Amino acid sequence: MDRRQFLSLSGSLTAGAVAGGVLPAVAHVDPTERRAAPGAPYKLAVAAYSYRQFLQGARKNMTMFDFIRTCAEMGTDGVELTEYYFEKPVTAEYVMKLKRSAHLWGQTVTGTPIGNSFTLPAGEKRDAELKRYREWLDVSADLGSPAVRTFAGAAPKGVPEADARRHVVECLNELADHAAKRGVFIAVENHGGVVAEPDGLLEIVKATASPWVGINLDTGNFRTADPYGDLARCAPYAVTVQFKVSMAPKGQGKQPADFARILQVLRAANYRGFVTLEYEEPEDPMAAVPRHFAEMRRLALEDARSSRR
């Protein structure tokens, strides 16, 4: 069979599969789509945000290239490249240098967190947010990043939360085609505002009309009575995960996060993406991040061994 015949046959098979309902259109990430391989260890990464005081401001002594090298020397599988610390203006040449550096240091780019708000009503301000977001979908695609960490935002003054969530859905649906064309997930984070609790987050994600919309599950951001249970509710829709070393259940104050328990939640949800350490505690990250990362690695290997039994 020559190449032309193969392509013709492939096209016919694809069209037939779609027409026959084998590949139905899916709204948002489908929790039934993936199955976790027992015993496969989770891949671990570190977020640039963990070193924020050294990547910007008065104490700046690192570049993003230094961050990539620091992570590689720590033994990470990947790096999360937070938009805040990119050289500005962001040029195509700079993006390709970052991509090259990550590859040479053996690092997968695991995500591209940016700052945004989608609770705005239709108008110029929302249009500006959407335009900037499309630009970062392009940057992420060029980097090889699988997802843009996405904020929903807080309800603007005078706007009911239900309307603000509807605005978020409108924005996500408007961006979904571009995300699909570039092969980059829109990963909505449980980050306060209209997604401070799981009901609001799940309402938004389930209301979207694209399989390129999912959740960036931040393990430290639910200040609810049962944060582990709420993480379990959202984990089936996760396309990226950020791990924080502490949690603050409602009425209990801050306490150490149980990483082994979180891994069990992710495995039960068949999550197979990266787990990225996003360090926010007051201890110097130069000492704290390698220590916490080593403990994450130890627990991830234990989790993999126990899942094979």
> Mind listing the pLDDT tens digit for each residue in 118-149?
999 999 999 999 999 999 999 999 999 999 99
Q: What is residue 33's predicted lDDT score, i.e. its pLDDT?
A: 85
Task: Kindly report the length of the chain.
Answer: 309
Fold for domain 35-307? Answer: TIM Barrel (3.20.20)
pLDDT in tens, 222-267: 999 999 999 999 999 999 999 999 999 999 989 999 999 999 999 9
Query: Is the predicted pLDDT of residue 201 greater than 90, yes or no?
Result: yes
Residue pair 152/107 in contact (Cβ under 8 Å)? The answer is no
User: Which residue reads 């005078």 in tokens?
Assistant: 158
Report the candidate in 197, 172, 167, 207 with the shortest Cα–Cα distance to residue 186. 172
* Helix (H) and strand (E) counts in the chain: 10, 10
Over range 26-42, report the average pLDDT: 79
Residue pair 82/64 in contact (Cβ under 8 Å)? The answer is no
pLDDT in tens, 78-96: 999 999 999 999 999 999 9
Name the percent of the chain in helix, strand, coil, to the closest 5.
50, 15, 40
Residue type present at position 13:
L
Which residues are 243's β-sheet partners? 277
Residue type present at position 255:
Q
Q: 124-143 vs 92-104: helix axis angle to the nearest 10? A: 40
* 214: CB partners within 8 A, 6+ apart: 28, 29, 147, 185, 186, 187, 188, 205, 237, 238, 239, 240
Neighbours of 149 (CB within 10 A): 30
User: Which residue reads 């990043």 in tokens?
Assistant: 145
Q: What's the CA gap between 85 and 79, in Å, rounded?
A: 13
Write out the E strands in 168-298.
185-189, 213-218, 238-243, 246-247, 255-256, 275-277
- What region does 204 belong to: left with phi over 0, alpha with psi -120 to 50, or beta? alpha
Give the percent of the chain with pLDDT over 90. 85
pLDDT in tens, 41-53: 999 999 999 999 9
Mean pLDDT (the chain, rounded): 92
Q: What's the CA gap between 181 and 141, in Å, rounded?
A: 10
Which residues are 78's β-sheet partners? 45, 108
Confidence of residue 27 (pLDDT cuts 50, 70, 90): low
DSSP for residue 144: T
* 144: CB partners within 8 A, 6+ apart: 99, 102, 108, 109
